A and B are shown apart, each in its own frame.
Chain A
Amino acid sequence: MIPAIVVFIYLAAVLYIGIFAFRRSKGKEKAEDYFLANRSLGPFVFLFSLFGTNMTAFAILGSSGHAFSNGIVTFGLMASSSGLVIPLTIFLIGTRVWALGKKYGFMTPVQMFRDRWECSHIGTVIFVVQAVLLLPYIIIGIMGGGTTLNTISGGMVPYWFGGAIVAMVVMSYVFFGGMRGTAWVNTFQTVLFLLFGAVALIVIGASMGGFRNAAQAMQASPAFSSLLTRERISPLYFFSYTFIPLSAIAFPHILIFCLTARKMNQFKKTVIFYPLCILAIWLPCVFLGVMANRATDIPQIRARQEARRVLATQGKTMSPEARDDLREKAAGDDVIMLLLQRYAPLWLAGLLGAGIMAAVMATDSQILALSTMFTEDVFAFYGGKRRFGEAVQVRTGRVFIVLITMVAYAIALRAPETIFELAIQYAFSGYAALSPLLVAALFWKGSTKWGALAATVWVALAVVAVAVFQHAVPAPAPGPPTLVWSLGGTEVLSRTPGGTAVFGFMPVVPMVLVSALLMFIVSLITSKPKQTTIAKYFSS
């Protein structure tokens, strides 16, 4: 119970920071102050809050859970590729968007697209697709909150109640503090979970009697040695994952965050330190996730390993429902929590639990971003701001925050997928495929609104198609994928245990490439915006 009390104290502290930010706000009824902290964030807050915004439950729970089942490959799949691609896109795209926002007063990506391509309703289509894709990200946070509080309290706080508490706390400080509150809380949280990784590694390592013996024992065991290599994942799948981090800059909450910097110089530290921050968080989590396989004195871990074993040996003869059930039992999203409970002293488990909560609660920025987008791209754009004024616009944003949190919570209670799968399959792939819009808007004079529309519609259809396909064709047992369509002996479409493969790649690869191609071809054959508009974006 002590860890749960520490976590509740942490939640209270976070709530206080959000409300304190509300008191510090100078223009409570001004949209730019509430949604963008008046474009005034300093270098330290900018670096940590931007990084924290990108680190969700996924970073700690998802990474260690994935590593528990798949081994060290998890780090190369998501962390190191993100360490290159994300800062690179912030450097190339984030700085330019910041400059345009400062110059022309943009507060959302859709505002920029509408101006850049002289469009109105096409902007609304982009808003809808962005909003629908952002929702899973928010759900992940609430699901992670429920799982974490449930595990930390030893089952005393049920999953539904844990999720409700996290949803309420996040909703409250976003409601009151807006971007300023969110940024301060994110900074506090990032510092916490940067400390988390190192402390967890040292404490658990010492309690397990050092990692040397554990690693050597795993290497000697035929059942576990593959977890220390990458043989469970194909090189094509590994390559596909480098496309996923393209989603970061296309996520509206990241792009909107780029608008909050006081000066462009603040991007410098963010870009340079981003890969190191990822390293500091992911390396311990992935390593601990792999090492959790040696903690067989923990009954829950033994149960997960047994489920994994049964799935591998008897999965082929089971019904799809039984396989899904076993897959859920084998998922290790809570292994890091179990390690803490077993190997860390109670008070430290509480502190470390708070660190995990910090990562879990990064959903705040997504909620605020959705609210900003709704009030700017829909409410203000369709005349609400002109008719009712800016104060009503901010109030509308706050009501929207309450509504969206309630919807996300309701879905989180029913969603059956593991945290990791849900995030990857829908939100990340969809946003990665929207990134060509940003590149075209900022770097290609010849891009048009019709190109943007074609790419956006493609992304929406592709996400739906993947979801329908995976629903219609059940996931096979671990091993070779189920071939659904081949052409001249080449595998075109197959259902893998973890999702879908197109020519052996994850769907994100064709999604991004076709999106870019459509943007290019349709722009070539449609009329361009006026020269004066293009000159605004390509003056130098």
Chain B
Amino acid sequence: MKRILLVVAVVALYALHQDFWFWRTAHPLVFGFVPIGLFYQACFSVAASLLMWLLVKFAWPGHLEREIAQSESEEEGAR
């Protein structure tokens, strides 16, 4: 279930990149000088970082590291 939710989050964020709703407008100018379309995409980058944090926390492929540790200890044992 956790994995499905993470996949949905990745797909949803990818879809949110296509923000056609701010396509032809610069309004409002955030802080008086940042066009809304640029501000949205900057926020998107922050959201991408948060999503990566979630992936690292809940879907980290730790088994790969364990496999290597195991094969290294087997090699040392063989010596």
With A84-B51, A229-B23 given, is the CB distance from A219 to B45 under 8 Å?
no
Main secondary structure of the interface of B (DSSP, over half): helix
The total of chain A residues at the interface (CB under 8 A) is: 51
Q: How far is the CA of A235 from the CA of B44 in the complex (A)?
A: 17
Whether B61 sits at the interface, judged by CB under 8 Å, is yes
The answer to whether B64 and A228 touch across the interface, beta carbons within 8 angstroms, is no
B contact residues, total (Cβ < 8 Å): 39
Please report which residues of chain B, range 1-54, place their CB below 8 angstroms from some CB of chain A when the two chains form the complex.
Answer: 10, 13-14, 17-20, 22-26, 29, 32-35, 37-38, 41-42, 44-46, 48-49, 51-53
Which residue of the partner chain, among A96, A103, A263, contacts B71 with CB atoms under 8 Å? Answer: A103
Q: Does A272 touch B at the CB level, under 8 Å?
A: yes
Neighbouring B residues of A219 by C-beta, 8 Å: 26, 29
Query: What are the residues of chain A within 8 A of B38 when measuring CB–CB?
Result: 72, 75-76, 283, 286-287
A279 interface residue (CB < 8 Å to B) = yes
Q: Quote the shortest CB–CB distance from B35 to chain A (angstroms).
A: 4
Cβ contacts under 8 Å, A235 to chain B:
18, 20, 23
> Smallest CB-CB separation from B31: which chain A residue?
A212
Q: Mark out the residues of chain A between 248 and 296 whose CB falls within 8 Å of any chain B CB in the assembled complex.
A: 263-265, 268, 271-276, 278-279, 283, 286-287
Contact code string A156-169 (vs B, CB < 8 Å = 1, else 0): 00000000000000
In the complex, 8 of the A-B residue pairs with CB atoms within 8 angstroms, ordered by the A residue number, are: A75-B38, A80-B17, A230-B37, A271-B52, A274-B52, A275-B48, A283-B38, A287-B38
* B67: interface (CB < 8 Å): yes
Interface of A is mostly: helix
Q: How far is the CA of A540 from the CA of B65 in the complex (A)?
A: 12
A93 to B25: give the CA distance in the assembly, Å: 38
CB nearest to A269 among chain B residues? B56
Cβ–Cβ < 8 Å partners of B71 in chain A: 103
Give chain A's interface residues, CB within 8 Å of chain B: 72-73, 75-76, 79-81, 83-84, 87-88, 91, 95-96, 98-99, 102-103, 210-212, 214-216, 219, 225, 228-231, 235, 238-239, 242, 263-265, 268, 271-276, 278-279, 283, 286-287, 539-540
A215 and B33 within 8 A (CB): yes
B45 A88 Cβ-Cβ under 8 A: no
Q: How far is the CB of A265 from chain B (nearest CB, A)?
A: 8
For B32, list chain A residues within 8 Å (CB).
212, 215-216
- Is the CB–CB distance between B55 and A276 below 8 Å? no
Interface assignment of B63: CB less than 8 Å from any CB of chain A: yes
Is B78 an interface position by the 8 A CB rule? no
Neighbour of A80 across the interface among B33, B35, B48, CB < 8 A = B48
Tell me which of B10, B44, B67 contacts A88 (CB under 8 A): B10
Number of A-B contacts (CB under 8 A): 132
Query: Are A75 and B52 in contact, CB atoms less than 8 angstroms apart?
Result: no
**Cross-chain contact B29 with A276 (CB below 8 angstroms):** no
Contact B41 A242 (CB under 8 A): no
Q: Are the C-beta atoms of B61 and A212 separated by less than 8 Å?
A: no
Q: Which residue of B lies closest to A540 (CB)?
A: B63
Asked if A99 and B26 sit within 8 Å, CB to CB, the answer is: no
Q: A230-B23, A230-B37 are in contact. Are A76 and B17 (CB under 8 A)?
A: yes
Closest-by-CB residue of A relative to B63 is A540
Q: Which of A76, A268, A274 contacts B60 (CB 8 A)?
A: A268
With A79-B45, A80-B17 already in contact, the answer to whether A229 and B29 are too (CB < 8 A) is no
Chain A residues within 8 Å of B20, by CB: 235
- Once bound together, how far apart are the Cα atoms of A95 and B32, in whole Å? 42
**Given contact pairs A84-B48, A540-B63, A272 touches B56 in the complex (Cβ within 8 A):** yes
Task: Report yes or no: B18 in contact with A72, Cβ–Cβ below 8 A.
Answer: no
**Closest Cβ neighbor of B19 among chain A residues:** A76
Chain B residues within an 8 Å CB radius of A278: 45
Kindly list 13 other residue pairs between chains A and B, CB separation below 8 angstroms, not including A84-B48, A215-B29, A215-B34: A72-B41, A79-B41, A80-B17, A83-B45, A87-B52, A88-B55, A95-B61, A99-B68, A216-B29, A235-B18, A271-B55, A273-B49, A275-B45
Residues of A within 8 A of B13 (CB): 84
Assuming the A-B contacts A72-B37, A215-B29, are A283 and B42 also in contact, with contact meaning beta carbons closer than 8 angstroms in the complex? yes
Q: Are A80 and B44 in contact (CB under 8 A)?
A: yes
CB of B52 within 8 A of CB of A91, answer yes
Task: Select from chain B the residue with minimum beta-carbon distance to A77.
Answer: B41
> Which residues on the B side are within 8 Å of A287 (C-beta)?
34, 38
Contact of B35 among A229, A265, A275, A276 (CB under 8 A): A229
Are B53 and A272 in contact (CB-based, < 8 A)? yes
A268 to B61, CA, bound (A): 11
In the complex, are the beta carbons of A81 and B49 less than 8 A apart?
Answer: no
Enumerate chain A residues within 8 angstroms of B52, measured Cβ to Cβ.
Answer: 87-88, 91, 271-272, 274-275
Q: Which 10 A-B pairs have the closest CB atoms?
A: A228-B26, A99-B64, A215-B33, A275-B48, A211-B33, A279-B45, A275-B49, A228-B35, A72-B38, A84-B48
Contact at A263–B65, with CB atoms within 8 Å? yes
With a cutoff of 8 Å between Cβ atoms, the chain A residues found around residue B26 in the complex are 219, 225, 228-229
Chain A residue numbers with a CB within 8 Å of B29 are 215-216, 219
| Distance A72 CA – B65 CA, assembled complex (angstroms) | 42
In angstroms, Cα B20 to Cα A448, docked, is 40
Would B18 and A238 count as touching, CB distance under 8 A?
A: yes
Contact check, A275 vs B33: say whether CB atoms are below 8 A apart: no
For A238, list chain B residues within 8 Å (CB): 18
Interface contact B67-A76, CB-CB below 8 Å: no
Contacts of A229 in B (CB 8 A): 22-26, 35, 37
Q: Are B18 and A239 in contact (CB under 8 A)?
A: yes
In angstroms, how far is the closest chain B Cβ from the Cβ of A120? 26
